Structure 1
C-alpha cells in the first residue's frame, strides 16, 4: 500500500547533540510529545537501536481519551537520522541537520487514511513545535 507522504520541519536554536538528546530521551519526550496543552504524554520508552522499540502514551489530561504510539526503529544514525516503522506499516523518518548555530529537524511521515491530510500535518507540526519550545527552554537552562 502506498501512503501519501507529509513533511514537517522546524529549526531549533540549539546544537545538534542537544536536539538529538531531547528528541530521543524518554524523560524529554514526556515533556513535549503532545499537540495541545490539554493533552499529555505520561510515559515513553526508547530502545535506540535498529529493531528497538519506541513507545509513547498520549492522552487527554481529563482522561477522556488516549492512545499508545508504538513503533520500531528501522534506521538509527545518532545525531543525523532515525526512522520509525509504526505498527500499521507506516513510516516516519526524522533528520537532524546543523543550521548555523541551530538544528533543522525534518520529519517525513506516511499519512494514515482516517483523518484529513491537513489535520495530520497540523497535529504533527504542533508536536514538533512543542519539541522546539521544550528543547530551546532546556538549552537556555543548561
Structure 2
C-alpha cells in the first residue's frame, strides 16, 4: 500500500546556516519542538549523519502523556537536505533553500494510518511555525 505524503513549508528570515544549526542542535530543538504551548520537548539527542539516530521526547506539560519521536537518518547534505525513517518505517524528507537572505524549508512526510491526515499536517506545521519563530527571535 502506498503511503499518503503530506507537505508543509515555511520561509524563515535567516540565512541557511543559522536555520540548519537551530534545526539540528539539541539545545535549540528543546526550545521549539512542540505543536502547542501545553506541550514541551524536555530532551533531545541528535547524531546527524547517515545511519545516525535522533530521539526527541515530546511531553504534555501537565505530565499526562509523553512519547519519543525518533528515527534514523538516511541522507544528510549539510545546509541542503535531510531524510530520515521513523521506527514505523514512515519517511520524511526536508529541504533547505536560501534565497535573498531567507531560508525556505519544505518537509514532506508519510502520513500515519492512525490519525486524520489534516490533523497530522496541522500538527507538523505548528511545530515548523514554532521553529520559524525560534530562529527569527535569536
Q: Which bin holds the TM-score, normalised by the shorter protein?
A: over 0.9
2:41 maps to which residue? 41
| DSSP 3-state at the match of 1:98 | strand
The answer for unaligned runs of 5 or more in structure 2 is: none
CA distance in 2, matches of 1:24, 1:136: 16
- 1:29-73 per-residue CA deviation (whole Å, 9 max, x = no partner) reads 000000000000000011011000111000000000111001001
2:54 maps to which residue? 54
Normalised by the size of structure 2, how large is the TM-score?
0.98
CA distance in 2, matches of 1:100, 1:8: 21
Residue correspondence of structure 1 range 1-142 to structure 2 within 5 A: 1-138=1-138
Normalised by the size of structure 1, how large is the TM-score?
0.96
CA RMSD of aligned residues (A): 0.6
| DSSP 3-state at the match of 2:119 | helix
